[in-house]
Structure 1
Amino acid sequence: MPKRVLQGVVVSDKQDKTVVVKVERRFTHPLFKKTVRRTKHYHAHDENNQYKVGDIVWIEESRPLSKLKTWVVREAVAKA
């Protein structure tokens, strides 16, 4: 089964080797036909502490690394 890959913005880098990434998804509401935005935060592993707040990054699903971390940062799309 392929690993899921998501794109999001780093919103916190205060933890050691961990970043919090905000991922936004958009969909059309089934009844009202209006575009709705939903966001979710993911804790992702950042081995070298190289990503900072505002960076746009790709995260990839991985094995559980801790209680909250099941994602790993793959690469930065844009640096802040």
Structure 2
Amino acid sequence: ERQADYVVRKKLTYEDYARLPNKPGHTLQLIDGCIVRDPSPTFIHQRISHRLQSILKDYFKKSDPGGEVFCAPLDVLLSEHTVLQ
């Protein structure tokens, strides 16, 4: 299992995070003002994610037509200092 790198300099905001360049091979998240660089997902992760999406889409179609499933990367802004993907 690959691990995330933690890079701490100063407490960053979403605005700082949004200005960071995208580099292939990693995703960036902002957790409590700190940048966390995650490795790209593995094939098995992507396979499981795709299957889970299919299950959730089927569920929402039958039981909750207003429900939606979103794919990464997608910034989820939880606070000024926390953005997850």
Bigger CA radius of gyration? 2
TM-score computed with the length of structure 2 as normaliser: 0.21
TM-score computed with the length of structure 1 as normaliser: 0.22
Structure number with higher strand proportion: 1
Structure number with higher helix proportion: 2
